[in-house]
A and B are shown apart, each in its own frame.
Chain A
Amino acid sequence: MLAQHMKSQTPLGRDRASVAGKQPPIDESTDVLIVGAGPAGISAALTAAAGGVRVTLVDENPVPLQTMGEDVPLHFGGRMAPTVANRNAVLESILRARPRLADAIDAGVDVRLGTAAWGLFPQRRTAGWIDGHVAGLADEDHAYLLRFRQVIVAAGCRDMGVAFDGWQRPGVMGASAAYRLATTYEALDSRTAVLVGSGTEGLQIGNALLDAGIRIAAIVEQGEAVTGPKELLVRLLESGTRLFTRHVIRETIGDSHGVAAARLAGVDADGTRLSGQLQRIECDTVVLAMAAIPAIELIEAVGCTVSFQAARGGHVAVVDGSQRTSLPFLYAAGDCAGIWASKTLSDNTARREGRIAAVAALRSLGVGADGAEEAPVSPEAPERDIALERLEWVRAMTLKSAGSPFLCQCEEVTAAEVLGLHPPRYLKWRPEAAEARRLGSVEPGGTPHPDVVKRLTRAGMGPCQGRRCREQIAALMALDSGRALTDIPLATYRPPVRPLRLAQMAALPEAASMGEGWESWFGIPSQWIPFWRLPPACSGADSGAEEPVAGE
């Protein structure tokens, strides 16, 4: 069509209401952007910097206190000690916890702490108005865009939430969150914790908390045996930790500070609660360590191919031997590329992934890297069925709970409401009508999609962006439909993958021409001419009168 026009010399029309030609001014650019300054990200940065290209390493810590308060990016459970408000103190503790950051700075890496990546926006055929690849970044006050050529996402992990009565109390938190606060921030406000789950990641974090001076009063495991390595368990038991297998948390008891105790209930192999004495454990913190979840929100939102890979701990990007995802300029490294036992026990695997990704990124930039070729990283065969374990936790702890705990704390949605596709309570809809339409009625005989649950019940639609509920909702849907967890599609992620204040986003610079054409949806005058004044025919050369018209 365009070529035809060139030939016929007809002047091309301009649609002033389209995005064409309205690219925002973007002042900053880098060659390799690395998101996440953990072991994988720092190794990637050092390797990339050695190649002589421009490297930018962003890490969202210290996270703004308000954001932490909303359990973003981790389920902090309100257990931030007052020192997190002192940003300088936190920055110092981050540098203490990650000494190699100083090496990266010395190597010329542009290190930006307190900087979150909220979106990656590559030019693509259906979204092509901004040239090249652009990242949306934000510090506590400003949001901005950064051009990059290659990006390595090393965003770490978060924790699966599983609802039980009283899990909304301050003090119920994710294991990664407890670890982050205890180590990186040196600011975990906890003395005595109960650890829920006994996998490698959980036991390792239990030991780290012990090292930080926190007593682990009990380990609660719904399965019949501890699933993590014996050495890690023994050390905890020697410190006085009590072990409760075939148990779940029945409820927490609270005081003004949040959790004051947890009550445990015995369960049988089907997750059914056994009658008998409830164990009461005095504690101020309940650490949820049922499953470590690769943090794929940036990766999924930009459209990398993602699949449930049991050996890698759940949904992760499909990567090749160079850690490259289905988008050739984007690599995943560290926990966000997969979590397995030996990788958790030593940073070396994550570091290697970072180096491999950086070498591949350098090659894509036409820069050869020094050093020996490293063998691709691949996970060991999983020892356990992680999908089944997640179903068992949700079945034993949530479905069999006595009360009706909110799976989605932001939007206050219970398991029964998810399965019944109840309209939210504020609609005051007649309950009998809602009862008639359960989850299975949306696609009879088909696989239910979590996005339908989001849309109809609002579960997962709140300010924590579904971080505490998405895995348990997927598990619940699998239990309800009798399907494998791996068959349940992944609920989509959308930018901004970190909550951003309107005013912060609003300050992004835009082209002067961006102001044109907002007054009308699509700016097609004839679309809005009232039907009693319409012209009879449309030639396509003139979409209506000259008069301006407002849409709708």
Chain B
Amino acid sequence: MSSRCGRGEGQGAAVVIIGGGVTGLSAGWWLAREGVDTLVLDAAAAGWGASGRNGGGCSHHHSPLFREEQRLWPLMDEMLGYPTEFQRNRIRIALDERQFDLYRRASDNGTRQGFRSEVLDPKQVRELVPLAGDNVFGGYFYHFGGHANPHRTLQAYAWALRDCGGRLLQHTRALGFDTRGNRVVSVKTSRGTLACDHVVIAAGPATGEIAALLGVTVPLMSARAEMIVTEPLPPMTLGGVDGNGLYGRQTLRGNLAYGGGPHEWIDLADAEHTRPYSTPLQASIARRLCELLPKAAHARVIRSWAGFIENTPDGRPIIDRPAAVQNLTIATLSSVGFGLSPASGRAIRDLVVTGTCGFTDVSTLTLSRFTSLQPDWTALQGWLPSLVRGGE
């Protein structure tokens, strides 16, 4: 890998990353901070997609990136030089036995990896979570994970990338590639051609379409999900409280920001020309938030939002260097990318620079697991867009 190869502005970079979401920006920052000449481009503004529209959770105990996620988050403010609002730990509240059994998984997974959890009885839950009510069945205090502010973190990555000498080109669309043999030599964009030694595609829902331009199949299906946010309430000691089927947090400002519930599968082509709209599903989220935190029932919902996100057929990430192209890395975190971003960016950096992830085994995240994928996998799984009668 050549670094600082002296290309002028706009002519390319050692590594071109397509996608200025949380995964691409983190990867760009990890590369740039080691002196690799890195350029991140995004078709819109950085973090305008799902990266800035999520619950901000940082507790992915099922993932091979979990330990690194846990190690890095407490360091991120310092490492980036800008605030992420990261807060440690999480309480998950169960309102019935079924939820209580389900939420044990996080505690079991944590324990296996050396992280502590406690079971909470209803009284303990109410002491720790003043907005909880008499309907608590039980809960867990996970002494790991936590939450951060997605918008603030996104901008922190973008600024930190630039502070390390990396570049961010916004409103620049990747249109195709020039190849020589099985190597990519440049990326064709809406603002000209960018020569490169290596390409990372981390373009969220569009990852599959862009990879296809290089003959690499990345099976993805896109969907829309929604969240709501209330006016600020007095901050609880621990804002990382969720459960009852919801994910989310009380922000440091005091707003309750929660999402969950059914998603809507969509055709990616339809998403290109529209913003993600929220729907009356916001009322169903409000209903479950009212159950989770009944003492917040008076709080007023002041916004909702929706986001488009992608999923692989098994819902697990792809972080891989496909064999067909010598200098290509593919990354999609399959709808769960924000919290893992400090670790996923580092894994991508490792793959780009050394060809293999040095801190954990990411071999379960390769594309090869889809070699026997049925061609009609979206229909088989019922991942189909709504039938819309007529047009707008």
Contact = CB atoms under 8 A, between A and B. Distances in A.
A541 B315 CA distance: 13
B166 to A, nearest CB: 13
Contact size range, B:
35 or more
Contacts of B274: 124-126, 303
Q: Which of B298, B302, B392 has the most CB of A within 10 A?
A: B302
A190 to B, nearest CB: 27
B389 A131 contact: yes
B302 A499 contact: yes
Contacts of B223: 18, 522
B303 interface: yes
A13 B382 CA distance: 4
Which applies to chain A's interface (DSSP): helix, strand, loop or mixed? Answer: loop
Interface string A1-17: 11011000010111101
Nearest to B388: A128
B389 to A, nearest CB: 7
Interface string A453-481: 00110100111010000000000000000
B62 A531 contact: yes
A17 B315 CA distance: 13
A423 interface: yes
Contact of B283 (A303, A433, A510, A531): A510
A524 B112 CA distance: 22
B238 interface: no
Contacts of A328: 392
A548 interface: yes
A122 B392 contact: yes
Interface string A129-147: 1110010100000010100
A187 B57 CA distance: 48
Interface stretch (B97-105, B320-328, B342-350): B97-105
Interface stretch (A40-48, A202-210, A437-445): A437-445
B379 A522 contact: no
Contacts of A131: 389
Nearest to B255: A461
B314 interface: yes
Contact of A500 (B155, B300, B385): B300
Interface in B365-384: 369-374, 376-384
A552 B106 contact: yes
Q: Which of A131, A136, A465, A496 has the most CB of B within 10 A?
A: A496
B63 interface: yes
B281 A19 contact: yes
A540 B380 contact: yes
Contact of B385 (A125, A303, A494): A125
Contacts of A549: 102, 105
Contact of A501 (B277, B297, B370): B297
A303 B334 contact: no
B106 A495 contact: no
Contact of A446 (B82, B171, B264, B305): B171
A263 to B, nearest CB: 33
B382 to A, nearest CB: 4
Contacts of A20: 264-265, 382, 384, 386
Interface of A: 1-2, 4-5, 10, 12-15, 17-20, 22, 24, 119, 121-131, 134, 136, 143, 145, 302-303, 327-328, 411, 423-424, 426-427, 429, 433, 437, 441-443, 446, 449, 452, 455-456, 458, 461-463, 465, 492, 494-496, 499-503, 505-508, 510, 514, 516-519, 521-522, 524, 526-532, 534, 536-541, 543-544, 548-552
Q: Across chains A and B, which 5 residue pairs bring their CB atoms closest together, nearest first?
A: A540-B377, A527-B315, A518-B245, A128-B386, A524-B315
Interface of B: 45, 52, 57, 59-64, 81-83, 85, 98-99, 102-103, 105-106, 109, 112, 151-152, 155, 158-159, 162, 170-171, 219, 223-224, 230-232, 244-247, 252-253, 260-267, 270-271, 274-284, 286-291, 296-306, 308, 311-316, 334-336, 339, 364, 369-374, 376-389, 391-392
Given A13-B383, A126-B224, A528-B315, 11 more contacts: A1-B379, A12-B379, A125-B267, A128-B387, A129-B281, A302-B277, A455-B151, A456-B152, A502-B286, A518-B288, A521-B336
23 contacts: A15-B265, A15-B382, A15-B384, A19-B264, A24-B283, A123-B386, A125-B392, A126-B224, A129-B264, A303-B274, A423-B83, A442-B158, A456-B155, A463-B300, A508-B283, A514-B261, A518-B262, A531-B62, A531-B64, A537-B370, A538-B370, A540-B373, A552-B59
